[in-house]
Structure 1
Amino acid sequence: MRRILLSLAGIFLIVILGLTAAIYLKAQHFLRASPETPGRDVVFTVEQGQTFDQVARALEAEGVITSARYFIFLGKWEKRLGSVQAGDFQLSTGWPPAQVLETLATGKPILYRLSIREGLTWWETAQVIEDQGFANASEIKTLVHDPELLKKYRIPFENAEGFLFPETYLLKRPGRQDARFIVELLLKTFWDKTARIWAEHGEPDAAALARLVTLASLVERETGVPAERARVAGVYTKRLARNMLLQCDPTIIYGLGTAFDGNIRRSHINDAANLYNTYQRAGLPPGPICSPGLDALKAASDPEEHDYLYFVATGDGGHVFSKTLDEHNRAVRQYQLRR
């Protein structure tokens, strides 16, 4: 009986050693080999909240690894079970598993561009965000008018017009971003970018902030020439000081909203019911008419000192500035009526 037991124990030991060796060899092959040679690129998505086991099974299904079970063992061995990030990752079926794990745990997810140019209204910005696939425009509209959000970011208006900072943002995965996250990112960026202005001129109160952003929005819409921005801001500042009407065409357009068809008519200029009609209403309009860029904000905070009271577009993107009405009328005849 003793011999039989020893024989069985020996056979069992041999089987165990054999299985261990087989598992070891298979594990070594898993760690060293890649699923395909040559490999192919795979954009792999890790969803927020996915477990490591779920990620491993998805990697196996995509052909990025050959065994989810061994990949889980690898994650445990490397103590990376809780390190995998959410996002889209550029992987390859030609990589060994250790490289796949390293990329998911410490690599940078693929980032996508959300480009918002200067001078857009809040509804144009919302449409750009939707068109680029990041969030629904109707959700953006709701958030732009959210009183709590306006209070949080110290916006002294009934909506966030003027504060949706124009910039190229790099974000994870279009179509899966939270609209609130995007709106708050734009609002936070406004304060981050303007910090240098407040450092130089002092933190503004609500009235000063409203005036500055509104003036900057007019500057943004009136000229795209960097060298002219401070000069245009100086013209408007001077006209305000003399109680002159600003007579800014872009404010009329903003007041018309989505009904504007591309042409300003005499009826539009004479329409005193348009709250943004600076041909009929004195002072700045009730609020910003777009989201200005940093250069326009700087110009509004530090307008150029000069004697100009008028300017007219030359048709090539620039303007001619005049000190008197006679000079201005001559410039209008030269650059506008002739054209």
Structure 2
Amino acid sequence: MGTFTKICSALLVLVVLAAGGAWFAFETYTRSPMQKELHEIPLVVPEGASFSQVIDDMARQGAVTYPYAFRLLVRIRKQQHNLKAGEYLLNTGWTPERLLQELVTGKGVLYTLSFQEGLPWWLVAQKIEQQGFAKAEDFSSVIHDPEFLRKHNIPFSDAEGFLFPETYKLNKPRVLNKASAEKVASMLVHMFWQKTAMLWGEAKPGPEHIKKLIILASLVEKETGIPEERDVVAGVYANRLEKGMRMQADPTIIYGLGKYFDGNIRRSDIRNKENMYNTYQHRGLPPGPICSPGLEAIKAANTPAKHDYLYFVSRGDGSHKFSKTLKEHNKAVRKFQLRRNK
């Protein structure tokens, strides 16, 4: 073997060893914590930002070490165009692989959005605005949009009844506009269909059945917070419907009065026939749900208890006295009204 050949062979070995060493060092870098001292660093990735810009920003804040190696990692993993805008809370104890995964999945910082069962849509909108996820005005526009309702199979003129009460975890939008409102509204409606799927399985009911079910569930939600009473209350309204009686439900009057309700139901409110939600004047169920009910109220409306009760009155402690006849009911009313007066 000639001298030149020996030199070339030696150089090739050195190149291979150097390349192997460099690759080993790179792989070690990608799987090692970036710093020994652990602390969190907030990072905002604006819309349209490039990985190069974000890596420079992270390097300045100490969120990433050896930025040139991190750029190489991005290219090797073919993630150059997968950076997600959002708000992140990075940890210096993460490996570069973990950091890259965070930036391309876009999970970011998750905030809590929550509201309780039984709220009408305008109070849900208010809660959403107060918690910083959308403007109430935009949310109202979205849930009344015929295209939105068609897309989500909602058989009413708005999404009342389908804004499922739950505790959600999600990113906060950087800009509050109609798009951010639609994102939140869609999430609530998707949760409704996801939670109620268990009630009917693959045989999803038609629009008319859904209408009756959600209206009835909204009445149950507003009338009682006692778990054992829900299916009984649903049974009372089912019995009244079967007999052609009026529902005579105070919460329906209140819903019809809307934002103008001042806490008192007056005789004039009870006699008002122009309020289409006044079930003292109009027979049958009201024209739409009067709140977004929780799953337990929907279950009760789906399988009302079988009994002969036609009336109920509050005992004043949250529970109710149920009666089969008007005579029994009037007696119960006098008893519990007298107790409340005392």
Q: TM-score range by the shorter chain?
A: 0.7 to 0.9
1:100-124 Cα shifts (integer Å, max 9, x gaps): 3354346853211111221111111
- 8 Å contact from structure 1 (residues 35, 63) kept in 2: no
- 8 Å contact from structure 1 (residues 239, 246) kept in 2: yes
State how far apart, in whole Å, the 1-side matches of 2:54 and 2:258 are: 48
Equivalent residue for 2:194? 192
State how far apart, in whole Å, the 2-side matches of 1:266 and 1:337 are: 20
User: When the two structures are superposed, what TM-score results if normalisation uses the length of structure 2?
Assistant: 0.82
Equivalent residue for 1:160? 159
Which sits farther off after the overlay, 301-310 or 58-67? 58-67
1:117-161 Cα shifts (integer Å, max 9, x gaps): 211111111111111100111111111110111112222221111
Change (3 A) 1:158 1:33: closer
Change (3 A) 1:229 1:175: farther
Equivalent residue for 1:45? 44
State how far apart, in whole Å, the 2-side matches of 1:295 and 1:144 are: 23
- 8 Å contact from structure 2 (residues 51, 80) kept in 1: yes
Change (3 A) 1:270 1:28: closer
State how far apart, in whole Å, the 2-side matches of 1:329 and 1:171 are: 50
1:243 aligns with 2:222: no
> Does the residue aligned with 1:208 lie in a helix, a strand or coil?
helix
Residue 276 of structure 1 deviates from its aligned partner by 0.7
User: When the two structures are superposed, what TM-score results if normalisation uses the length of structure 1?
Assistant: 0.83
- 8 Å contact from structure 1 (residues 121, 290) kept in 2: yes
1:14-38 Cα shifts (integer Å, max 9, x gaps): xxxxxxxxx99x9999989988763
Residue 95 of structure 1 deviates from its aligned partner by 5.3
Aligned residues between the structures: 316
> Does the residue aligned with 1:258 lie in a helix, a strand or coil?
helix
Unaligned runs of 5+ in 2: 1-21
> Does the residue aligned with 2:217 lie in a helix, a strand or coil?
helix
RMSD after superposition: 2.9
Which sits farther off after the overlay, 258-267 or 35-44? 35-44
Equivalent residue for 1:179? 181
Unaligned runs of 5+ in 1: 1-22
- 8 Å contact from structure 1 (residues 135, 175) kept in 2: no
State how far apart, in whole Å, the 2-side matches of 1:337 and 1:275 are: 32
- Write out aligned runs for 1:1-339 (5 A): 38-65=37-64, 68-93=67-92, 97=96, 100-105=99-104, 108-176=107-175, 178-199=180-201, 202-339=203-340
State how far apart, in whole Å, the 2-side matches of 1:60 and 1:165 are: 42
